[in-house]
A and B are shown apart, each in its own frame.
Chain A
Amino acid sequence: MASSGDARAPAAAAGTARATITLKSSEFRRGREQSWRDLEGLVARVEKRGVRSLSVEELQRLPLLYRATLSSLSVARGIALDRHLLLYLENLGLRAFLAVYGPRVGLWEGCSEFLRRGFPEAVRGARWHVLIAALAVAAGVAVGFALTMADEAWFSSLVPADLAGGRGPSSTRAELANDEIFAPWPGPTQAFAVLANFLFTHNTVVGILTFSLGIAAGVPTLLLLLYQGIMLGAFLALHYNRGLGVEFLGWIAIHGVTELSAIILCGTAGLVIADKVLFPGRYSRVESLAIHGRAAARIAIGAILLFFVAAILEGGFRQMVQSTGLRFAIGGVSFLVWLAYFLRAPKEEPP
């Protein structure tokens, strides 16, 4: 009995006449093959030249063809035993999935959206972490100040030589005032190309370390925050002992408001990571990290932009302003600007 097909001519006996065979899976394939090939063409173009290379009509067809192909895959898994066909559909389905669900924004759109909403929103969402990070820095300042006030020899052990830049227990009031705080402006190339640049690179590396070491339960993050505070406190005590406390604060205020905010935000991001690793809630630790890591990364990226602004202020403009009062004014204004930015930026719309 001829049983191998759904429909078969009865004449097939010894091999003279040809029998017709109809496979359901072959018919299924014939009916849909064209739409698969259309999808393949669209996906190949998206892969090569991006989503923007598609016309409006093609953009509308892409998700339709994608869903049709996924349903073809589901059907084929049920009825077809053609291994090659299944592998092809799985591959095409995955490629189309990536094209359909890929990021839809370009670099600049993504950046502006990030600045207007993503960054301030993420910072607002982590207000307790901000508080802890700020407290860690404040505690560092207190410790550094107290230690250096008690014995100035601490200064050299607390501040590494390349950051101290020759300043130390042996510095006199005149040296500190004339060579650093009221030093003349070094000119545009030196100020912007060398100094601002060095400061930015150095601060960014410290900031990124503070953020990403949060993965180690946040202990290195807190230590780094504390240490940044300690160095600031040590400098403050050194100047205070020479009657330059107010001038030093003014000198710091001009860029320090921005720079300290950036350090605190990097710490915040690290602490968010640590929080989610230590207390993953109902997720596994890795899942929890994946869900909340993006918010933390948003804070860290924003902080790096703040470092950039701070470096321009510090390296480029600080020495142009020689009056302490004006310096405090600039510092105060920058504080208000950042405060307004973080508190008043529009809320993120639900997706």
Chain B
Amino acid sequence: MTSVLDRTTDFLEGASRNRREIVSPEGVPLPVELADYGERAGAFLLDLVFWLLATILIFAVLVLLLLKGIDIEVGASVATFIAFLVRNLYFIHFELSWQGATPGKRIMRLRAIDRRGGPLLPGAVIARNLTREIEAFLPLGLLLSLWLTPRGTPIWEEVSLGAWLLLFTCLPFFNRDRMRAGDLIAGTMVVALPRRTLLGDLAEATALHVFTEKQLKAYGAFELQILEELLRNGGTSGASQVRREVCEKIRRKIDWPAPVLEKDTDHFLAEFYTAERAYLEREQLFGKPRLDKHDQGGATR
């Protein structure tokens, strides 16, 4: 019933352009959600900060221990070298040992995964991170050098090189799966991976209200899942107002004879949900899934 699930999610959360599906090696389709540009930029900025801090730390230790009283030229080249080494080892090390997450990605809850649902291979991790060198660090270095160059010198070479490199940097904006050049080469994509916790089952074990089959036929799986969302969504006054209205609507639709008191609203809805779900699940098990209230049965999914 994934189609109903997708439809409910579309209805509740709006557009579904971020959703993709991978098929695990066991053959089970698993939906994934592409990471937003903002989340990815945020993760990269965090990593940039960590990288700079690590570089400065290592450099400071080195200067204090080994190279006392060095001249600026030597210091600068040692620093560039450390920076180069640290940033490449940093990204590759963390994506290898944290299953496709760097510290920045972990904070933003992102993961790099294989695009076709296979295992994330070390070769892919190395490939996608080495490409960062031209996608991010070369343009960044260029920007820095443009900024440090005194005005009036001919900088057209740098500007044209920068524009050319920017094409690579902007690659994620020009493809459907938001892949950067490294993702393209390594066959990976970056997905958002929030953590869900298992909440209690809404179905009640016993019921006071009893509904007839005719009454339960009024709705389908789509409406059931919207009702579920409504019941799970907290005790704010707005939500309870909506629940009250929904309760009245259901009561009219199924011709429930007795009025439902305001204090009994949640109780009535929970029992209706249980009965409806039991009915729909049983029908589905017998090969007669009912997608929504317009579904007249017999139609295939």
Which residues on B sit within 8 Å (CB–CB) of A87? 5, 196
Known: A6-B282, A21-B278, A86-B5. 5 other contacts (CB 8 A): A91-B193, A103-B99, A201-B81, A294-B121, A294-B187
CA distance A208 to B84 in the complex (A): 13
Contact of B212 among A3, A29, A88, A98 (CB under 8 A): A3
Which residues on B sit within 8 Å (CB–CB) of A294? 121, 123-124, 127, 185-187
CB of A21 within 8 A of CB of B274, answer yes
Stretch in A75-83, A177-185, A323-331 touching the partner: A75-83
With A107-B92, A107-B97 known as contacts, the answer to whether A21 contacts B77 (CB < 8 A) is no
With A18-B207, A70-B28 known as contacts, the answer to whether A98 contacts B280 (CB < 8 A) is no
CB of A91 within 8 A of CB of B196, answer yes
The reply on A1 being an interface residue by CB < 8 A is yes
With A70-B28, A212-B134, A286-B184 known as contacts, the answer to whether A103 contacts B96 (CB < 8 A) is yes
Which residues on A sit within 8 Å (CB–CB) of B275? 4-5, 21
CB of A29 within 8 A of CB of B201, answer yes
CB of B8 within 8 A of CB of A93, answer no
Stretch in B35-43, B222-230, B236-244, B246-254 touching the partner: B222-230
CA distance A297 to B229 in the complex (A): 47
CB of A101 within 8 A of CB of B120, answer yes
CB of A5 within 8 A of CB of B185, answer no
7 closest A-B pairs by CB = A290-B187, A297-B127, A102-B99, A293-B185, A4-B275, A101-B119, A294-B123
Task: Return the chain B residue nearest A294 by Cβ.
Answer: B123
B159-214 residues at the A interface, CB under 8 angstroms: 168, 181, 184-187, 193-199, 201-213
Question: Could you tell me the distance in whole angstroms from the C-beta of A20 to the nearest C-beta in chain B?
Answer: 5
CB of B99 within 8 A of CB of A20, answer no
The reply on B281 being an interface residue by CB < 8 A is yes
Stretch in B46-54, B110-118, B143-151, B292-300 touching the partner: B110-118
CA distance A29 to B201 in the complex (A): 9
B1-59 residues at the A interface, CB under 8 angstroms: 1-2, 4-5, 8, 24-26, 28, 30-32
Mark interface residues in A66-101 (1 if CB within 8 Å of B CB, else 0): 010010011001111111111110111111011101
| Size of the chain B interface, CB-CB below 8 angstroms | 95
The reply on B133 being an interface residue by CB < 8 A is yes
Contact of B225 among A6, A81, A204, A215 (CB under 8 A): A81
Contact of A98 among B111, B184, B207, B232 (CB under 8 A): B111
CA distance A17 to B72 in the complex (A): 88
The reply on A205 being an interface residue by CB < 8 A is yes
Stretch in A133-141, A187-195, A224-232, A249-257 touching the partner: A187-195
Which residues on B sit within 8 Å (CB–CB) of A94? 30-32, 193
Task: Return the chain B residue nearest A106 by Cβ.
Answer: B97
Contact of B81 among A25, A91, A105, A200 (CB under 8 A): A200
Question: Could you tell me the distance in whole angstroms from the C-beta of B162 to the nearest C-beta in chain A?
Answer: 13
CB of A47 within 8 A of CB of B99, answer yes
Which residues on B sit within 8 Å (CB–CB) of A86? 1, 5
CA distance A99 to B124 in the complex (A): 16
With A4-B210, A81-B224 known as contacts, the answer to whether A297 contacts B186 (CB < 8 A) is yes
With A36-B198, A77-B2, A107-B96 known as contacts, the answer to whether A101 contacts B278 (CB < 8 A) is no
CA distance A19 to B274 in the complex (A): 12
Which residues on B sit within 8 Å (CB–CB) of A91? 193-196
Task: Return the chain A residue nearest B228 by Cβ.
Answer: A83
The reply on B218 being an interface residue by CB < 8 A is no
With A21-B206, A290-B115 known as contacts, the answer to whether A97 contacts B134 (CB < 8 A) is no
CA distance A178 to B216 in the complex (A): 98
Task: Return the chain A residue nearest B30 by Cβ.
Answer: A94
Contact of A197 among B32, B81, B133, B184 (CB under 8 A): B81
The reply on B93 being an interface residue by CB < 8 A is yes
Which residues on A sit within 8 Å (CB–CB) of B65? none
CA distance A13 to B99 in the complex (A): 57
CA distance A105 to B133 in the complex (A): 23
The reply on B107 being an interface residue by CB < 8 A is no
The reply on B261 being an interface residue by CB < 8 A is no
CA distance A205 to B187 in the complex (A): 23
CA distance A83 to B25 in the complex (A): 25
The reply on A209 being an interface residue by CB < 8 A is yes
Task: Return the chain A residue nearest B138 by Cβ.
Answer: A205
CB of A12 within 8 A of CB of B285, answer no
Which residues on A sit within 8 Å (CB–CB) of B195? 44, 91, 95
